[in-house]
Amino acid sequence: MEVFQLGFVQDDVGIAADRQAAAERNDGRLGVLFGAGEFDVAGDGLSEQLLAEINRQLNARGLIVKKGTLVDATIIAAEVKRPPYDEGQVNPRDPDASFTIKNDKTYFGYKAHIAVDEQSDLIRQAEMTSADLHDSQRGEAMIQGDEEAYYADKAYDSKALREKLVSLGIDDKIAYKAKRNKPLKHWQKWFNTTASSVRSGVERANATMKNWYGMARVRYRGLARNHCHLQFVACAMNMKRARVLLRAA
């Protein structure tokens, strides 16, 4: 079992290190969530709770706008060597990593799925999956429920997801995908172009994550550990972004 040392140092963002409140909210299990303590963070799901707690406090400060949720997935290379594509497609040192094809190129590793708050650029949710999972299969899971609109590229174009957004009263801003023998109508092309200018916020987050936080390649072997690390990266990105937002306020 891999055990992480979890510590938190309060900075000028003002994220409160309230141990007693954390204990009350989590039945005592996270009583030292923001202090010094040892936990099986990957196994117990504590990293997701850490991101949720940081976002709760950022939301209390009015930093999460909720005007729209920008959703996207990005491929992240595996830590292990890529196996031959035609010889089983699995590296036994990391059986969770897998192949996917994008724009006629093959990639081996994982996918990071993120939901970004429009305007604030804060990450509201982050999930790691194997690379072979199609983006649309996590589309519904990335709905926050309190946003006014939901933006995603054409990979998320599905009747089921659109109907779910309608049922929740969330404005559907998913790009349209042309079907075989059924090209896009002029209004759909216009819609895609207009929505893409807003959706670019999540692409900036993906680029920041890879270029500044070392996420072009995962650091660990196994889905659980890499998912846990993704939560920590999202936490770090949000806290740094919060400093910018607070200074501009």
Structure confidence by residue, pLDDT tens digits, 15-67: 444 444 444 444 433 333 333 445 566 667 789 999 999 999 999 999 999 99
**Structural domains in the chain (count):** 1
* CB contact at 8 A, 36 and 7: yes
Over residues 220-227, the mean pLDDT reads 95
Share of the chain above pLDDT 70, in %: 82
What is the per-residue burial (b if ≥16 Cβ within 10 Å, else e) of 59-79?
beeebbbbebbbbbbbbbbbb
CATH code assigned at 61? 3.30.420.10
Separation of alpha carbons 212 and 203, rounded Å: 14
DSSP code at position 67: S
Domain of residue 106 covers 4-248
What are phi and psi for residue 73, nearest 5 degrees? Answer: -130, 145
Over residues 86-94, the mean pLDDT reads 85
Distance from the first to the final alpha carbon of the chain? 44
Pairwise pLDDT comparison (187 vs 86), residue with the higher score: 187
Over residues 168-184, the mean pLDDT reads 95
pLDDT in the model for residue 23: 42
**Taking 70 as the threshold, does the pLDDT of residue 136 lie above it?**
yes
Mean pLDDT value across the chain: 86
**Taking 60 as the threshold, does the pLDDT of residue 7 lie above it?**
no
**Taking 90 as the threshold, does the pLDDT of residue 178 lie above it?**
yes
Q: pTM here?
A: 0.83
Over residues 161-181, the mean pLDDT reads 96
Over residues 218-242, the mean pLDDT reads 96
Listed residue (67, 80, 5, 74) closest to 232, CA to CA: 5
pLDDT in the model for residue 28: 36
Instruction: Give whole-number Cα distances, 202 to 11, 20, 126, 157, 175, in Å.
Output: 26, 35, 12, 17, 14
* CB contact at 8 A, 214 and 232: no
pLDDT in the model for residue 3: 35
pLDDT in the model for residue 174: 98
In this structure, the number of other CB atoms found within 10 A of the CB of residue 99 comes to: 17
Helix spans in 38-150 (H): 41-44, 46-60
